[in-house]
C-alpha cells in the first residue's frame, strides 16, 4: 500500500508526502503550498524530495513549489491548462506520470469545476484529488460550472470502492454536519459525524477516506439518491429534474450553510 503522510500547513491544508516504494528514501510531495513544513517533514523522515505533483493553481497548493524545486532539483508536474511557470511537465487528461526509479506511476484525470485547470492523480489504489473531492464534501465552484463539477465527481466515482482518497483540506466535520442536514436519515452519516467529532476533539486527522465510504456519506456523490434530491428540492423550493440541477442546489445550499 502506498505510504503517504500528511504535512499540515496554514489552518487546514494537508500537503501529502509520498514515500517512494522503490528505495524508501525518496519522496514526492503533492500541492506544497508552503515549503517550510514540507522541508521540516523531509528532514525529520530523512527523505530526499524528487518530484512535486500540483493539482491546480491556487496559492495554498503552489506557494512552496518554486523554493522546493530549486532547493532539491525536484521535477514539477502540474496541469497544462494552469500555465504555471514553475511546472516542468505540463499534464492533460489521461497523461501518465511515470517515476520508474521511485517505483511510482500515476494516471492523470482532468477534473474541472473548482478551477478549470484542476487535475487529480490516480495510482497505487490512491487518488490525490486536491480541492475537487473532500470527505463528505467537494470544492467550491470558483471557475467551473455545476455540470462540469458533477461530471468530474462522476469520473472519480467510477474508480474502485477501495480507492483511498487523499484530500487537500481537513473539512470533514463541517461537511458531515451539512451532510446530516441534507440526509438526516442516513445512519452512516450520523455515525461518521460522531466518530469524526471525537477525532477532531483530539486534533487527529480524518483522512484518507475511501471512495466506497464517500459514496455512502457524501451528498455531492449522492445527487441521484431520491433522499438527496428531495432535500435539495425542498430547500430550493423548485423541482430539480436533472442531477446537475440537484448538484447545483446542494452546492449553493452548502455555500450558505453555517
Ligand atoms: Zn483550491
For the segment 47-63, the average pLDDT, to the nearest whole number, is: 97
Q: Are strands 119-123 and 126-130 parallel, antiparallel or unpaired?
A: antiparallel
The SS3 of residue 54 is coil
114 is catalytic: yes
Element at 230 (helix H, strand E) = helix 226-236
72 is catalytic: no
pLDDT at 229: 98
Alpha carbon distance 79, 81 (integer Å): 5
Q: Which of 57, 61, 72, 118 is catalytic?
A: 61
For the segment 66-70, the average pLDDT, to the nearest whole number, is: 98
Give distance in angstroms: CA of 56 to centre of ligand 1: 7
235 is catalytic: no
Give distance in angstroms: CA of 45 to centre of ligand 1: 27
In angstroms, how far is CA 211 from the centroid of its own chain? 11
pLDDT at 90: 97
- How confident is the model over 78-120, as pLDDT tens digits? 999 988 889 999 999 999 999 999 999 999 999 999 999 999 9
95 is catalytic: no
Q: Is the pTM of this model over 0.75?
A: yes
- Find, among 14, 53, 254, 12, the residue nearest to 141 by Cα: 254
Amino acid at each position: 500500500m502506498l505510504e503517504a503522510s500528511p504535512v499540515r500547513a496554514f489552518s487546514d491544508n494537508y500537503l501529502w508526502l509520498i514515500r517512494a516504494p522503490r528505495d524508501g528514501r525518496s519522496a514526492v510531495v503533492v500541492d506544497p503550498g508552503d515549503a517550510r513544513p514540507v522541508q521540516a517533514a523531509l528532514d525529520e523522515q530523512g527523505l530526499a524530495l524528487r518530484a512535486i505533483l500540483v493539482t491546480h493553481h491556487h496559492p495554498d497548493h503552489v506557494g512552496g513549489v518554486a523554493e522546493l524545486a530549486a532547493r532539491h532539483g525536484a521535477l514539477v508536474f502540474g496541469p497544462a491548462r494552469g500555465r504555471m511557470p514553475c511546472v516542468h511537465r505540463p499534464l492533460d487528461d489521461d497523461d501518465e506520470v511515470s517515476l520508474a526509479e521511485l517505483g511510482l506511476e500515476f494516471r492523470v484525470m482532468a477534473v474541472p469545476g473548482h478551477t478549470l485547470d484542476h487535475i487529480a492523480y490516480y495510482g497505487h489504489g490512491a487518488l490525490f484529488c486536491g480541492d475537487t473531492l473532500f470527505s463528505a464534501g467537494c470544492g467550491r465552484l470558483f471557475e467551473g460550472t455545476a455540470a462540469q463539477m458533477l461530471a468530474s465527481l462522476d469520473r472519480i466515482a467510477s474508480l474502485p470502492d477501495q480507492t483511498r482518497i487523499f484530500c487537500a483540506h481537513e473539512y470533514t466535520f463541517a461537511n458531515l454536519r451539512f451532510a446530516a442536514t441534507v440526509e438526516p436519515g442516513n445512519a452512516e452519516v450520523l455515525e461518521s459525524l460522531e466518530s469524526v467529532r471525537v477525532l477532531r476533539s483530539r486534533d487527529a486527522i480524518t483522512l484518507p477516506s475511501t471512495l466506497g465510504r464517500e459514496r455512502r456519506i457524501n451528498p455531492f456523490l449522492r445527487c441521484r439518491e431520491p433522499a438527496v434530491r428531495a432535500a435539495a428540492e425542498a430547500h430550493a423550493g423548485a423541482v430539480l429534474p436533472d442531477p446537475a440541477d440537484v448538484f447545483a442546489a446542494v452546492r449553493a445550499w452548502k455555500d450558505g450553510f453555517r
